[in-house]
Amino acid sequence: MACGEREVRSNFERYQRIAPLYDALDLAFETRRYRRLRPLLFERLSGRVLDAGVGTGRNIAYYPAGTTVLGIDISPAMLARAEARRARSPALVALRRMDVTRLDLADDSFDAAVASFLFCVLPDEAQALALRELRRVVRNGGEVRLLDYVRPRGMMRRALVKIWEPWTAWAYGASFNRDTEAHIVSAGLKVAEARYVVDDLVKLVKAVAVKPR
């Protein structure tokens, strides 16, 4: 088994294990930070939307009314938690178990795709694969939006992150050192907007799927 495959497998086992505790572990971050950020992923989106790494379904309440959303996750235990939230959405929502690096979905079948705090838990070897898959299933001109942690630029925040990283790696398989943006262009996406939404720690990236005619 290759290194990247081992890490994906490790993440599967990790999220199966922590699913019953996930919302409690994340509650302080959800209340103070994530709730105000999640709507940014869905502003002015319509049609068919893919939510990659749906987790326990924290995004579900923010799906735009009238959209059709497919939420996917590698962990059945996380999806079971999301199922309890599905009926509360103003959108038409379906949930499926799926690996973002190997999507069992047709080309050009979505108008947009979003991922919140997914790429920080994907191993480096999976970053480009996942972006290419999102680009493949999104129609030409459709958007891929990423909300995620990045390596801070400031020395003080870098030091604080370094203290936190052993915990986040153990609990979530997450790293603050992923370079997802570096893979966007080679994946066939064009950056339309990239901006920090929490200091220099959390970034929102909007990219457009560019496909040959």
Q: Domain-by-domain residue ranges, the chain?
A: 3-209
The residue to which tokens 């790293």 are assigned? 175
Collapsed DSSP state (helix, strand, coil) of residue 201: coil
The residue to which tokens 């694969």 are assigned? 129
C-alpha dist (Å) from residue 149 to 63, 152, 168, 173, 187: 21, 9, 12, 13, 20
Q: Residue 45 burial (CB < 10 Å; 0-12/13-18/19+)?
A: buried
CB-based contacts of 89, cutoff 8 Å, min separation 6: 60, 61, 63, 69
The class (CATH top level) of 3-209 is alpha beta
The residues of the chain scoring below 70 in pLDDT are 1-9, 163, 167, 170
| Predicted local confidence at residue 29, as pLDDT | 83
Closest CA to 147 of 76, 65, 80, 51: 51
- Residue 191 neighbours by CB distance under 10 Å: 12
| This prediction's pTM | 0.91
Q: What are residue 41's DSSP bridge partners?
A: none
| Predicted local confidence at residue 3, as pLDDT | 40
Radius of gyration of the chain (CA): 16
Q: How many CA atoms lie within 13 A of 35 on its CB side?
A: 8
Phi, psi of 64 (to 5 degrees): -65, 140
Our measurement of the distance from residue 131's CA atom to the centroid of its chain's CA atoms, rounded to an integer in Å, reads 11
